[in-house]
């Protein structure tokens, strides 16, 4: 699974930056086409959901997803053979 | 997105300001609805007027966006006419405790079987930041430019005193605990009241030295004290820090209730 921010919804409040225990969300610096500074993702493959959601068949952790007031965080299926970084168990 | 079956995705993004806690409370409430396994056709969402009260407009189910302060009166009517419906009320501190204060205490007294989620941002958000009955002492609002001088209502304690069967308080930071509390409230027959302290960065934070959204959340987090801890401090005769409020389950009981599903 792949973590994505839906930039058509995100308003750039940075609450996800505050809550992620892995520090995956980082405050952004650039305005997007909607005039919002959305956070950037730092090695999102470290998120427990990216690694284990499919295996466990349920949402793990998920606090960013719950606190995001704009329903902008989601996990999507990767396309087949999408380039992958090596996943590290922390 | 949480509970995708319950969101009206075509209405998103919603009107709430950047970092407004109302969106988080909506997530948690819908997660609880999903956990309950309710059918859309047997669930109704009811609200009054205010930013908080716009929440039902983003939910894919029947809803009533009623007059200011009257959400509980309409909800009581719905429950009396159709006790089989699951009724959830979204309300704000102004809606519930100022203009709607009487409906609040009487709905608790009657113990009407519904779940009331109050997004308490301690201000009239929608109309530009006037002080509400929950604005804390000393807080700056457009109607209290020198600091609020009236004591504030403790909504959760008020609901306990008025007779609600389930009362809990959390904040928009405590997403997991809040979801669990709303679920427990929905399972409890009678009136379940869940007060959620939320951030209004636009009309509260901006005037009270809490300009950024993370600063507001940090303020909520650091001033929340578990009921158990407060009780322990009181038992040991130790002082309870200034400005803290209790979070957790304040009451769960089984008084006679009205409009319970047969
Ligand atoms: C009868 C009536 N009086 C006054 C108003 C103006 N009014 C609209 S929203 C509001 C306050 C809302 O405060 P709250 O319930 O705390 O909601 P918030 O916007 O903070 O979520 C007021 C006074 C109104 N719409 N109707
Ligand atoms: S919490 Fe949601 S809206 Fe806020 S910055 Fe993160 S993704 Fe964007
Ligand atoms: S689910 Fe948890 S670990 Fe994964 S990005 Fe969100 S907050 Fe971070
Ligand atoms: S005015 Fe306050 S309560 Fe209303 S949407 Fe903006 S931040 Fe939220
Ligand atoms: Mg309010």
In a domain, B261, yes or no: no
Lowest mean pLDDT among A76-90, B83-97, B134-148, B163-177: A76-90
For residue B169, the surrounding DSSP H or E stretch is: strand B166-171
Which ligand is nearest to the Cα of residue A19, counting in written order?
A: 3
Q: CA–CA distance from B179 to each of B146, B193, B245 (Å)?
A: 37, 13, 19
The phi and psi torsions of B77 (rounded to 5 degrees) equal -60, -45
Query: Which band of pLDDT confidence, cut at 50, 70 and 90, is reported for residue A84?
Result: low
In a domain, B209, yes or no: yes
Total domain count for chain B? 1
The phi and psi torsions of B182 (rounded to 5 degrees) equal -65, -40
- Given B14, B24, B213, which is nearest A14 (Cβ)? B213
Query: What pLDDT was estimated at residue A90?
Result: 55
Query: What pLDDT was estimated at residue A54?
Result: 85
Radius of gyration of chain B (CA): 17
Cβ-based neighbour number of residue A29 at 10 Å: 7
Judged against a pLDDT cut of 90, whether residue A79 lies above it is answered with no
Percent above pLDDT 70 for chain B: 100
Query: Which band of pLDDT confidence, cut at 50, 70 and 90, is reported for residue A81?
Result: confident
Return the number of CB contacts < 8 Å for A and B. Answer: 65
The phi and psi torsions of A43 (rounded to 5 degrees) equal 45, 65
State in Å: Cα B226 to ligand 3 middle.
Answer: 25
Query: What pLDDT was estimated at residue A51?
Result: 84
Query: What pLDDT was estimated at residue B262?
Result: 79
Q: What's the whole-number average pLDDT of chain B?
A: 97
CA distance B234 to B229: 9
Question: H/E/C letters for each residue in chain A?
Answer: CEEEECCCCCCCCCHHHHHCCCCCEECCCCCCCCCCCCCEECCHHHCHHHHHHHHHCCCCCCHHHHHCCCCCEEEECCCCCCCCCCCCCC
Q: Is B214 helix (H, G, I), strand (E, B) or coil?
A: helix
Query: What pLDDT was estimated at residue B134?
Result: 98
B142 vs A84 pLDDT, higher one:
B142
Mean pLDDT of A59-83: 90
pLDDT in tens, B31-77: 999 999 999 999 999 999 999 999 999 999 999 999 999 999 999 99
Cβ-based neighbour number of residue B232 at 10 Å: 11
Mean pLDDT of A29-46: 94
Preferred mutation among B13, B178, B217 to probe A, highest tally of A CBs within 10 A = B13
Cβ-based neighbour number of residue B189 at 10 Å: 17
User: What is the least distance, in Å, from the CA of A87 to any CA of chain B?
Assistant: 25
- Given B21, B22, B214, which is nearest A18 (Cβ)? B214
Mean pLDDT of A58-84: 89
In a domain, B4, yes or no: no
Domain range enclosing B121: 17-252
Domain A2-76 sits in CATH 1.10.3720.10: no
In a domain, B78, yes or no: yes
- Retrieve residue A79's tokens: 């396309």
pLDDT in tens, B64-78: 999 999 999 999 999
Mean pLDDT of A12-32: 96
Query: Which band of pLDDT confidence, cut at 50, 70 and 90, is reported for residue B220?
Result: very high
Percent above pLDDT 70 for chain A: 92
Q: Which residues of chain B make contact with A74, given a CB cutoff of 8 A?
A: 1
- pTM of the entire predicted model: 0.95
Mean pLDDT of B241-256: 96
Query: What pLDDT was estimated at residue A89?
Result: 57
Query: What pLDDT was estimated at residue A85?
Result: 64
Query: Which band of pLDDT confidence, cut at 50, 70 and 90, is reported for residue B10?
Result: very high
In a domain, B260, yes or no: no
In a domain, B158, yes or no: yes
Domain limits, chain A: 2-76
Asked if A25 and A17 count as a contact pair (C-beta separation under 8 A), the reply is: yes
Query: What pLDDT was estimated at residue B219?
Result: 95
């Amino acid at each position: 699974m792949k973590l994505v921010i839906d930039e058509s919804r995100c308003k750039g409040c940075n609450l996800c930056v505050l809550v992620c225990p892995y520090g995956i969300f980082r405050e952004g610096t650039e305005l997007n086409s909607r005039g919002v500074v959305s956070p950037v993702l730092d090695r999102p493959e470290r998120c427990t959901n990216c690694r284990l959601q499919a295996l466990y068949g349920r949402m793990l952790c998920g606090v960013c997803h719950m606190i995001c007031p704009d329903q902008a965080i989601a996990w999507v299926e990767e396309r087949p053979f999408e380039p992958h970084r090596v996943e590290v168990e922390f | 997105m949480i509970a995708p079956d319950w969101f009206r995705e075509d209405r998103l993004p919603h009107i709430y300001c950047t970092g407004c806690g109302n969106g988080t409370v909506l997530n948690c409430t819908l997660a609880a609805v999903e956990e309950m396994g309710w059918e859309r056709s047997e669930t109704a969402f009811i609200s009054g007027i205010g930013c908080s009260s716009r929440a039902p407009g983003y939910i894919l189910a029947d809803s009533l966006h009623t007059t200011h302060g009257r959400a509980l009166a309409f909800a009581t009517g719905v429950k009396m006419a159709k006790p089989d419906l699951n009724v959830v009320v979204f309300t704000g501190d102004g809606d519930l405790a100022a203009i709607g204060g009487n409906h609040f205490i009487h709905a608790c007294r009657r113990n009407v079987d519904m779940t009331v989620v109050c997004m308490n941002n301690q201000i009239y958000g929608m109309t530009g930041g006037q002080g509400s009955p929950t604005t804390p002492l000393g807080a700056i609002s457009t109607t209290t430019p020198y600091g609020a001088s009236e004591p504030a209502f403790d909504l959760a304690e008020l609901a306990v005193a008025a007779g609600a069967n389930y009362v809990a308080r959390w904040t928009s930071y405590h997403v997991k605990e809040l979801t669990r509390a709303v679920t427990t409230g929905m399972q409890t027959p009678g009136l379940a009241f869940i007060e959620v302290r939320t951030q209004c960065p636009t009309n509260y934070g901006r005037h009270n030295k809490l300009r950024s959204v993370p600063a507001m959340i940090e303020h909520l987090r650091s001033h929340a004290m578990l009921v158990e801890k407060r009780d322990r401090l009181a038992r040991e005769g130790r002082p309870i820090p200034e400005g803290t409020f209790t979070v957790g389950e304040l009451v769960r009981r089984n008084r006679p209730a009205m409009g319970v599903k047969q």
